[in-house]
Amino acid sequence: MKLTQILTREGWDLKQREILLGWTMVLPAVLIILSLILYPIVYNVYLSFFDVQPLADNTYIGLENHKNVVLDPGFWNALVTTVIYVVFTTLGTTLMGLFVALVMNQKFPLRGLVRSLILFPYIAPVISVVFAWQFIFDPVNGIFMDITYEKLGLFSSRFNLIGSPSTAVWVAVIFSIWKNFPFSYLMILSRLQAIDHNLYEAAEMDGASGWQKFRFITLPEVYFVMGAIVLLRMIWNFNKFEEIYLLTENVRVLSVYTYFKAFVGTMELGQGASLAVIQFLLLIGFILFYVKRVLKW
């Protein structure tokens, strides 16, 4: 029977038809999400208890995967790197976003053009900008070494900043701030534009300084949106893969570490699944802590 026939069938009242129609319209989306997001997540938990081969059957090994993961120092290194990365990128992106939003909220010539130019980092494909950044830090040709070594003499020799994990993580942090600050800036700017001008005028009458206006009017108004940005950035940057892996394979945050475990070399898919579960639990813990303690919701 055709859908239109069902929908116009006699004896059904308007409400029942609306329910049926509603479900018909969301059903494709719901089915896709259920079968390809929720089911895989459950399946992932299941896989983490098995020795998983790409092409053979799985064998149940209990908590073996989790044990192997936790006993591997690589995991703990990855965890520390992830925390450094998440904390500094989140702070940097949010503060930079706030700063740029305050600047862009002023009037100046060519403001429209400037506002769209500074969105470029956010919209450009990751793959198209990583090489430019690699070039900037390239030991032979890059402008970073040219300025710090040739012109300023800060270092005793040219070296590859992206080459070693301990310095590469900072390049990854700066790259992430550069790439994502426009998002925070946009969100904060739209909040700034909604602030009532009378508040500032009243404050000026009372002789408030620029800093006081910022501290007692602007900041409370944007506090909430900044809280939301920090939360989103933490979630996204915790799971970040492309922006790090494509820039440098040396920065082993958890997602990159998991990728290497599961898909490079011996393909430890079971351990990879277990890592993904652990990463997810850590993220949930992280968020609960943040929401309870920092946002005090």
Q: How far is the CB of 228 from another protein (least distance, A)?
A: 7
Q: How far is the CB of 169 from another protein (least distance, A)?
A: 18
Give yes or no for a contact between 177 and 240, defined as CB atoms under 8 angstroms apart. Answer: no
Q: How far is the CB of 193 from another protein (least distance, A)?
A: 10
Closest to another protein by CB, 250 vs 272, is 272
Measure the CA–CA gap between 133 and 144, rounded to whole angstroms: 10
Judged by CB under 8 A, does residue 119 bind another protein? yes
Chain positions 36 to 65 lying near another protein, rule: CB under 8 A, are 36-37, 39-41, 43-44, 47, 52, 54-55
Closest to another protein by CB, 164 vs 190, is 190
Binding mask 139-168 for another protein (x = CB under 8 A): -xx-x--xx---------------------
Q: DSSP assignment of 113-128, as one string?
A: HHHHHTTHHHHS-HHH
Beta strand segments in the chain, E: 50-51, 59-60
Binding mask 20-39 for another protein (x = CB under 8 A): -xxx-xx-xxx-xx--xx-x
Which class for 274: exposed (0-12), middle (13-18), buried (19 or more C-beta within 10 A)? buried
* The two three-digit tokens of residue 209, written as one number: 């300084």
* The two three-digit tokens of residue 225, written as one number: 């949106």
Chain positions 205 to 264 lying near another protein, rule: CB under 8 A, are 213, 228, 232, 235-236, 238-242, 245-246, 255, 258-259, 262-263
Q: How far is the CB of 223 from another protein (least distance, A)?
A: 16
In terms of phi and psi (left: phi > 0; alpha: psi -120 to 50; beta: otherwise), the region of 108 is beta
In terms of phi and psi (left: phi > 0; alpha: psi -120 to 50; beta: otherwise), the region of 265 is left
Closest to another protein by CB, 167 vs 239, is 239
Q: In the beta sheet, which residues pair with residue 60?
A: 50
Q: How far is the CB of 104 from another protein (least distance, A)?
A: 8
Q: Of the listed pieces 68-76, 107-115, 161-169, 288-296, which binds another protein according to CB under 8 A?
A: 107-115
Binder of another protein out of 78, 86, 172, 187 (CB under 8 A): 187
User: Interior CA angle at 170 toward 150 and 126, to 5°?
Assistant: 100
Q: How far is the CB of 125 from another protein (least distance, A)?
A: 4
Chain positions 254 to 293 lying near another protein, rule: CB under 8 A, are 255, 258-259, 262-263, 269, 272-273, 276, 279-280, 283-284, 287
Alpha helices in 54-164 (DSSP H): 64-71, 73-104, 111-117, 120-123, 126-136, 143-145
Give yes or no for a contact between 184 and 96, defined as CB atoms under 8 angstroms apart. Answer: yes
Binder of another protein out of 61, 79, 126, 282 (CB under 8 A): 126
Binder of another protein out of 75, 85, 88, 183 (CB under 8 A): 183
